Amino acid sequence: MNTHYTRTAKSLHWLMALMIFGLLALGFYMSDLPLSPAKLQYYSWHKWAGVTVFALVWLRLAWRVTHRPPALPDSLSAPMQWAAHAGHFLLYALMIAIPLSGWLMSSAKGFQTIWFGVLPIPDLIGKDKALGDQLAQLHWALNVGLLLLIAGHAAAALWHHVVHKDDTLRRMLPAR
């Protein structure tokens, strides 16, 4: 039985982790800036990276469906296994919901996304300022939830490594 994730799964995990940390940092930084050409450029970069993460999460899900991940340690109780599965489900759900909420928000605010300045992404809904403001609040709340979930995910991995002394953390590290 394989106890480690595939090289592709590990690569997608760490690439997306880096991109998501960058998106979170840029998103929280740019949101309070005064309107300027730099702020508009940051928003473009944020949207480009968000579209990329949205595409990568579907690739990652396809990989996960076709390449079964290693089983959780047998030493975990049933409630802990359920919590681990629920946490992973929520991470994937947020990696889909957050870019969608940003896409909907941009559409409602009347700012079409042009991926890397080349490929126009169609608006999902018509311009509606009030809805755009509500979607902005939703986008922010989902990102705060993602930050908390990532903190729990990292804490659980460290708990496995330091307290439980099992292989959970090592099996996702880039090198064995």
pLDDT in tens, 7-26: 999 999 999 999 999 999 99
pLDDT surpasses 90 at 168: no
Phi, psi dihedral angles at 50 (to 5 degrees): -65, -40
Q: Could you confirm whether domain 7-172 is CATH 1.10.3470?
A: no
Q: Using an 8 Å Cβ cutoff, are 57 and 16 in contact?
A: yes
Q: At what angle do helices 37-66 and 7-31 cross, to 10 degrees?
A: 150
Q: Which of 109, 112, 111, 113 is nearest to 129 (CA)?
A: 109
**HSE (CB half, 13 Å, CA atoms) of 142?**
22
Averaged confidence pLDDT in the chain: 93
H helix count then E strand count, the chain: 4, 2
pLDDT greater at residue 74 or residue 67: 67
**What confidence score (pLDDT) does residue 176 get?**
56
**What confidence score (pLDDT) does residue 1 get?**
57
pLDDT greater at residue 35 or residue 4: 35
Q: Using an 8 Å Cβ cutoff, are 172 and 10 in contact?
A: yes
State the Cα–Cα distance between residues 25 and 41, nearest whole angstrom. 15
Question: What is the domain partition of the chain in residue ranges?
Answer: 7-172
- pTM value is 0.91
**What confidence score (pLDDT) does residue 125 get?**
96
pLDDT surpasses 80 at 175: no
Please give the average per-residue pLDDT across 110-123, as a whole number.
Answer: 93
